[in-house]
Structure 1
Amino acid sequence: MKRYISIRAKFITLFVLLITIPFLISGISTYNKFAEETEKNSRAYSMQIMNQVKINLENTIKDADRITVAPLYNEDVLRILEKHSYEEPGEEKLIPSAEITKMARVAASLTLDQPGIERMIFFTGDGIMYSVEEKLTQRYWNEKGNSWMQEVLDAEGRLVIIEPHETTYYKRSERVISAARALNHPATGQSIGVVKIDFNMKELEALLSEVWLSDNSQFYLTKDNGELLFPDELVNFPDTDPGDGTIDWNGQTYLYTTMHSKSTKVNIHGLIPMADLQRGGKEIVGFTILISVISLIIAYLLAIFTSERLVRPIRYLQSRMRRVKDGAFSERADLSLMNRDEIGQLAQGFNLMVTEVERLVKEVYETKLREREAELSALQSQINPHFLYNTLELVSMQALKERNLEISDIVASLGKMLRYTVDKQERPVQLKEEIRFVHAYLQIQLSRHGEKLSSEMYVDPSFESCLVPKLLLQPLVENALEHGMGNSGLTITIRASVLDQDLLLTVQDNGVGMPPQRLLEVREQMLCKPERDGSRPKFGDTLKGYAIKNIHHRIQLLYGVEYGLSVESDEASGTLWRIRLPLRWGELECTM
């Protein structure tokens, strides 16, 4: 036997679990989501910052590239450099002041409005230097202490970014980052000198110092060969590029991001300690744990205090349920005794459930009526004018074959039939509409059968407004054409009359008729209930009793068993179909 546990103990346990578990799940999920979003946002932010740095660097290098190429288009510069390109560096030479002035003016004009460039210097092949600030630079240079020169010459005219290095051509040694290019004569291709740009370190530091990722983050630039460009004082950085992700370095885990500039061949790196990113998440976890503990204590107190008040309405509701179980469907829970909580909603739901059960019992009769109407709708939906497709084929063949105006009448009749059959509303129609439809159908069949087919209609105008079910006569006319047509032709007669306050419609033909055995089979088919398998015969198919059975049952479902379809047939005189309907106009029955 299972151990009995009071509902009060269950409530206390449930409240504790409902408070504790969600808070634990919420805390863990919040921390993980926060860490994930923080890492993603930090990565996106660092990439955005580095992309801006990349753009600034590329713009600066593009300016340097443009400035270092410009001297090749100055005749004075080419002439002076070419003059000093045929001698090796050696003893100091006397330099004409005109040359110094011209070269200084060129350098000054090219570096004007370029705060990122400290100075521009020309190096000739015979060891002479030209600069704007002659007082700050030496007049001559030599290969000693200028190891970068060979790298520039090996580049064969391409711009070279030179990592931080000590200069020997300033009167006071400075550490700079530079860009240099070997100048080759445009006509001869011979090297006539080198132009070098020293970047303003303060401007470069100001440009790159705007990058801030976190308190302990690091940001640095390297060349493709791994040589450090910025900051110059950074001596400890990862010697490998692990790609975007995390990296363990110096005993810590870092979020590592990198970006490469193809035009400058410079790599931009960012290192953010994961501890910095997770600091906020740990605070959230601590706060969540505190809230969880406080909520758990409150939950215990509230569960103990309110358990009795919760159990009392449940017991009351239980007694009402026992009454309903015994068959008292009129029993209801008194909602005034319930609190506005889940138990009150449960009592309200109980009342609604009992009311619904009572309502469903009362609706059994109405459900049967709806089933009858659904059966009627299914029977009506089985009449589908498929023969119109055959008529269209006939019209096409007739047009190609005869080329006469007769096709106009066929198409007009077909249009009337289409307009009539396309309307899917299951509603009664006036008798004149049904007659027009049959007339249009016969017009098309007359074109097919010619003189072998004739029709007669005797419908008093006073009956034209009577309401009849839709598609009532045409299946019988089609049946006469399919089964009654003989070698001597066929005449179809349609009449409307009144019999005992009812409307009587007849469709008669003088065709071959039916033998007694076949007539008996047709009458038995009319009395059989049609199958409700959801299928519908195509309009115009060979009927074989299917449409006749539908017509009969449609009429009986609509008006009762005293109405319907009957048939008489003789092989000598043809077939006569009688349709009996209540005589109605609009919503009112007709009284003759």
Structure 2
Amino acid sequence: MKTMQGKMFSAFGWVVLLAIIPIAYSSYYYSAKVIERNATSYISDRIQGVNGNLQSMVEEVDNIAKAIVIRDVIHQSLLSRKEAPTIEWFQEKKEVEEFLGSMIAFKNYVQQITVIGRDDTVFYTGNRIGNSEFTASLWENPRIRENKRHLLYDPSGNGRILLVRPVLSGGEMIGLCIVHFDPNLFKQVYDIEPLSETVVSVIDESGNIIYDSRSERIHTQLQDKETLALLAGAVPGEWKSSKIDMEGQSYLAVQTRSQYTGWSTIVMVPLRVLLSEVNGIKLQTLTLAIAVLIAVLLISHVLSRQIAKNIKRLHSAMKLVREGHMNARPRIRNEDEIGQLSEMFVSMMDHLQELLHTVKTQERQRREAEYRALQAQIKPHFLYNTLNTIKYLARIQHAPNIEEISGSLIELMRFAIDPKREMIPVREELKQVEHYVRIQRYKFLDRIAVNINAEEEALDCLIPKLIVQPIVENAMNHGLGALDREGTVSIRIYCDASKLLKLSVTDDGIGMQPELLQAISTNAARAESDSAGGIGLSNIRERLQLAFGEPYGLTVYSQAGAFTTVEITIPQVRKVRSDVVESYSG
């Protein structure tokens, strides 16, 4: 959007969206996490309760089996040689089975107790059940001979849970005590579905499904890769939860392995069912967010329209100004930022009109000055051509001194009137000093010596032209000109360690009185210097500060009757810098 109103409208919308989306997402995410955590805690507690109940039942049954395997009547019957169907055999069988019946009285979770001997001797309560092949395999299992409880699952037939204890006599197994649990026991015990469509599975150590809420899976071998992966690495007595995908659905699976039975219990709750209430909260949050967004967008539309109205007025006024209507002004009376901006625009336009008037006046004056400069331009050229004529006449009349003076003056004039070069190397400035000294030598009859000491490194540094020569001129005319004795002007140029260029001109002339030195330091002597027709020290100082900045310039040291030193300090410049040239020439 290009308009301010559109940008504000869009900005409000994005701000609200960026605020609502994280809030809605975090609300849904943390609500889902809390529900999953609570469901995991609830399911694990239920599983632990079920395992505890099952453990109590198994312990009771194991105590019954212990009482049976140590009973004398059981040992005597298994070792008896009475043959059926004698009366003694019948009485013995009746006594044993009555004893077994009394052991399971009021134990509705026990379906039958069977005692089996090696020679096909069998004692049982009720109707005989069980698989003879499975029973025969128990005799061949060496683990069964250990005098302890064996909780087994018989997958044959309808599948049964058995508790087996060996009957030992003299360290030799003479029989087996087998307790058959009621098949409906596990459905009653593991009926812990906390929500609809919850899947509960009980799996033994061999991967057999002992119980499953999906009845068609009972008595089968576990084949699901997801469930097998969940069982891998299970630690008895600890539970863990994870999310798995099975049959096109996502489940929250809670798994634990009983330390007592070694069986694993897995409860899987569909996330779709578990988070149904959270999804309702999510829908409500999205509805509320959309309502808030619409309300904010409406409010932002009204506000942005009000703000944009004054901006459009200001824009229209600026457009009129661009088209040339300099008197156009916006009519805005607000005291807000837009009103302040409007006042600044009005003030700026008033000032601009004043500047335009001033510029027009200055432009007219500049054209007049250029016309006068064109008229005066012929004068230095006329003088330059005249000096060339004098130099030519001195040469043909064999007057070398006049030729030398006129030649040096020609070089000085050509150098001074060249408008193309404002910054020159130090070596060229020193050449102009030499030309000037040649001329002054005839005036002072060689009683003033000029010594130049310049480092080679400093000769290529750039300085504004006509900086050193005027200082030498002042030293010769004002410092040494009034003396009857010989004098010396020393020029020293060098680069210091702080990357600054130092130029100093020292004469051993009359020096300066403190009042004059103070006046020069404060630029009070500028009018006097300029009125004498030369370039004053104040002029040099201003040109140096114009070229290099306020910290740089010149300093004067003097003592009356002894010496005067003018020292220039400027940065080292070895190539023409556009900012220096512009500031110097502008």
Pick the TM interval, shorter chain: 0.3 to 0.5
Report the TM-score when normalising by structure 1. Answer: 0.44
Larger radius of gyration: 2
RCO comparison, higher one (Cα < 8 Å, 6+): 1
